[in-house]
């Protein structure tokens, strides 16, 4: 085996700089020693070096930490939601002081429950699942994996992050305004979301700020996506042909195209809805609408227009979150099975097909709106068709694992967990693709379970997998293996025990978005199952403390990482150089014969002919 280089780090005692600065300094050291990307010049002032940085590594970590903050708030919201669903009259300690109106005496009101639901959905979908796999890991690793020294537009990368940060700040501010946070859910269906405070609590300034937040997020995401596209097209190292790209690069590139096309539709819809609220237009509000015994003066709008625009964004959004996750899993399965990716070209073709078909299936979210039957059958057929490239990718995963020399490390465990949860969640999607079944299931917990498994939990498993895998590249240290295994098993079992019973709640007809079902005749007998789901959800949420402790402890006290601890082939693990590397081979040359190791890096020249 070749001799491995070990990167040593130490924290200087008495350093008066903030801990975050120490993190970024360590990141710079890792990149300058272990990759072809140069560290930021030491002469730069602190703010330019670590806060308003144009270095892609720093920005990638900023996106990651922003997503970490968002997921902590989102999980806290879900804890309150599950507490209320299981025990509706239970006072929540301190919540009455945080929101005396929304939770008087600590008891959550129906309106405050809906606001928690809105914040949870918005945070998790936009600021976690959309942001971390694409902008976090993408900004950090895309230039490194294609042999570039920097993103094509470094300042645009910085602007993208700060717009996302501003968007999060505007969203959180809705919880401190007088008329309360929005209660429209992350879908913000009109007409109630379009007519202002007359619609009730949470439909005043809070809803307006929510729309402004989403508009800012859209602009930041589109700018970042254009940067990803330009970087992939024009910054690849010599020899880095399209069929030599690592699969994550393919996914980030395709996802960037999806973001540009779909977020433009959402931005336009957001602007029209905001215009209805503040300028008196009537894009989404129909004629003759009566609210609180008042006939409103809107004329000619259509709430279904919003649904069409929103879901034209909304279904590509599913694949904006899941395509980077799928590519990370494909990448890691190859590394830890010590085999090339099975069907690399077919997997790339599947990614491209998923991206294209994702714009043709938005109508299956609207089967209950009275759609033309011919349109219904068309969308149903296309929805079934998009499962074909997903199945191709699944077969690629199985083929990669088959007869491999599998190393069951924590990154692989989370990658396998992704495969299991993604496939299980996808099976429930086959029911929702059938219009006759969807009419019954659309408004129930069946959809909640499906969405969380196939999009939410699956993508988070990929994020965990990527974190454990690239942590040595981010901080020069290894995360603790035993704590990682504890984290995996508690999270994996907790995910199944939380969301599989939810499918049965949906089959029983239990409606989603209801704050309490204890008074209903059809839902009262299911409260014990709701209580079980809540208890398991609390245990699963508590298990994430193992990850947080492991993450921050390993950042400073973890075992020093070798230059290439996983013996991987892609360029981010290669040595530093003053020039771009030359690429001679594909990204997954494992199991090679005749060498001193079982892998060959992409920048290793072909042996000379004798």
By the 8 A CB rule, do 471 and 334 touch?
Answer: no
* Average pLDDT estimate for 242-257: 96
* Average pLDDT estimate for 405-433: 95
> Given this model, what pLDDT does residue 552 score?
96
- Closest CA relative to residue 230, chosen from 256, 248, 250: 256
Q: Does any domain span residue 305?
A: yes
> Given this model, what pLDDT does residue 359 score?
95
Is the model's pLDDT at 440 over the cut of 70?
A: yes
Is the model's pLDDT at 11 over the cut of 60?
A: no
> Given this model, what pLDDT does residue 13 score?
30
By the 8 A CB rule, do 585 and 602 touch?
Answer: yes
Per-residue pLDDT tens for 16-74? 344 445 555 555 554 444 444 334 555 677 788 878 899 999 999 999 999 999 999 99
Q: Does any domain span residue 416?
A: yes
* Average pLDDT estimate for 479-501: 96
* Average pLDDT estimate for 240-255: 96
pLDDT tier at 495, thresholds 50, 70, 90: very high
Higher local confidence (pLDDT), 590 or 9: 590
- Closest CA relative to residue 246, chosen from 92, 120, 359, 141: 141
Gap between the Cα atoms of 57 and 54, Å rounded: 9
- Closest CA relative to residue 317, chosen from 461, 130, 127: 130
Is the model's pLDDT at 516 over the cut of 90?
A: no
By the 8 A CB rule, do 351 and 326 touch?
Answer: yes
How many domains, in total, are found in the chain?
1
Q: Does any domain span residue 3?
A: no
Q: Does any domain span residue 259?
A: yes
> Given this model, what pLDDT does residue 78 score?
95
Q: Does any domain span residue 38?
A: no
CA distances for 369 relative to 269, 305, 376, 440, angstroms: 19, 11, 10, 13
Q: Does any domain span residue 317?
A: yes
> Given this model, what pLDDT does residue 594 score?
56
Rounded mean pLDDT of the chain? 89
Higher local confidence (pLDDT), 599 or 487: 487
Residue 592: what are its φ and ψ, rounded to 5°?
-75, 150
Q: Radius of gyration of the chain from Cα atoms?
A: 25
Q: Which residues of 285-298 are buried (b: 16+ CB within 10 A; e: fewer)?
A: bbeebebeeeebeb
Q: Does any domain span residue 422?
A: yes
Gap between the Cα atoms of 88 and 86, Å rounded: 6
CATH number at residue 510: 1.20.210.10
Per-residue pLDDT tens for 282-326? 999 999 999 988 888 888 899 999 999 999 999 999 999 999 999
- Closest CA relative to residue 511, chosen from 496, 522, 519: 522
Domain extent at residue 497: 43-286+300-573
Task: Give 468-485 as a DSSP string.
Answer: HHHHHHHHSBPPPHHHHH
pLDDT tier at 360, thresholds 50, 70, 90: very high
Gap between the Cα atoms of 275 and 409, Å rounded: 52
By the 8 A CB rule, do 246 and 570 touch?
Answer: yes
pTM for this structure? 0.91
Is the model's pLDDT at 105 over the cut of 80?
A: yes
pLDDT tier at 574, thresholds 50, 70, 90: confident
> Given this model, what pLDDT does residue 6 score?
36
Higher local confidence (pLDDT), 552 or 299: 552
pLDDT tier at 99, thresholds 50, 70, 90: confident
Q: Of all residues in the chain, what percent carry a pLDDT higher than 70? A: 90
Task: Give 438-506 as a DSSP string.
Answer: HHHHTTBHHHHHHHIIIIIIHHHHHHHHHHHHHHHHHHSBPPPHHHHHHHHHHHHHHHHHHHHHHHHHH
Q: Does any domain span residue 582?
A: no
């Amino acid at each position: 085996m070749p001799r491995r280089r070990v990167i040593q780090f130490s924290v200087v005692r008495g350093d008066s700089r903030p801990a975050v600065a120490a993190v970024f300094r360590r990141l710079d050291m890792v990149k300058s020693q272990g990759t072809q990307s140069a560290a930021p010049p030491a002469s730069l002032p602190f703010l330019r070096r670590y806060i308003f940085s144009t270095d892609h590594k720093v920005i990638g970590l900023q996106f990651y930490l922003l997503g970490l903050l968002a997921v902590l708030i989102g999980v806290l919201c879900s804890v309150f939601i599950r507490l209320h669903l299981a025990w509706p009259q239970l006072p929540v300690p301190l919540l009455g002081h945080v929101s005396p109106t929304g939770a008087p005496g600590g008891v959550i009101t129906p309106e405050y429950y809906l606001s928690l639901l809105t914040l949870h959905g918005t945070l998790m979908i936009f600021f976690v699942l959309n942001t971390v796999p694409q902008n976090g890991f993408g900004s950090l690793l895309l230039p490194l994996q294609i042999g570039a020294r920097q993103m094509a537009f470094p300042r645009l990368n910085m602007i993208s992050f700060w717009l996302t940060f501003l968007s999060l700040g505007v969203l959180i501010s809705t919880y401190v305004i007088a008329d309360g946070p929005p209660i429209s859910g992350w879908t913000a269906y009109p007409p109630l979301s379009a007519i202002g405070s007359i619609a009730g609590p949470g439909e005043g300034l809070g809803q307006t700020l929510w729309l402004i937040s989403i508009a800012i997020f859209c602009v930041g995401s589109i700018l970042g996506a254009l940067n990803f596209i330009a970087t992939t097209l024009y910054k690849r190292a010599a020899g880095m042909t399209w069929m030599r790209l690592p699969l994550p690069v393919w996914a980030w590139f395709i996802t960037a195209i999806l973001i540009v096309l779909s977020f433009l539709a959402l931005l336009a819809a957001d602007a029209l809805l905001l215009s209805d609220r503040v300028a008196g237009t009537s894009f989404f509000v129909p004629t003759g609408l009566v609210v609180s015994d008042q006939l409103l003066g809107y004329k000619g709008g259509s709430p279904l227009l919003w649904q069409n625009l929103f879901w034209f964004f909304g279904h590509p959004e599913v694949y904006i979150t899941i395509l980077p996750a799928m590519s990370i899993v494909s990448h890691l399965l190859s590394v830890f099975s010590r085999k090339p990716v099975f069907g690399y070209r077919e997997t790339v073709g599947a990614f491209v097909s998923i991206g294209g078909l994702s714009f043709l299936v938005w109508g299956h979210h609207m089967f209950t709106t009275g759609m033309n039957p011919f349109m219904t059958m068309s969308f149903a057929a296309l929805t079934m068709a998009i499962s074909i490239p997903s199945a191709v990718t699944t077969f690629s995963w199985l083929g990669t694992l088959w007869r491999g020399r599998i190393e069951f490390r924590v990154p692989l465990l989370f990658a396998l967990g992704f495969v299991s949860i993604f496939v299980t969640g996808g099976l429930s999607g086959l029911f929702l693709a059938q219009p006759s079944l969807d009419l019954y299931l659309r408004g129930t917990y069946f959809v909640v379970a499906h969405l969380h498994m196939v999009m939410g939990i699956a993508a988070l498993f990929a994020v965990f997998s990527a974190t454990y895998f690239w942590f040595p590249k981010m901080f020069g240290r290894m995360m603790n293996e035993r704590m990682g295994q504890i984290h995996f098993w508690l999270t994996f079992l907790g995910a199944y025990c939380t969301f599989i019973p939810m499918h049965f709640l949906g089959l029983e007809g239990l409606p989603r978005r209801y704050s309490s079902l204890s008074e209903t005749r059809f839902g009262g007998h299911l409260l014990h199952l709701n209580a079980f789901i809540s208890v398991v959800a609390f245990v699963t949420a508590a298990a994430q403390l193992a990850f947080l402790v492991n993450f921050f402890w390993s950042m400073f006290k973890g075992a020093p990482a070798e230059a290439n601890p996983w013996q991987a082939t892609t360029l981010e693990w290669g040595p530093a150089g003053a020039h771009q590397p030359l690429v001679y081979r594909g990204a997954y040359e494992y199991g090679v014969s005749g060498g001193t190791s079982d892998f060959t890096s992409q920048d290793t020249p072909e042996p000379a002919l004798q």
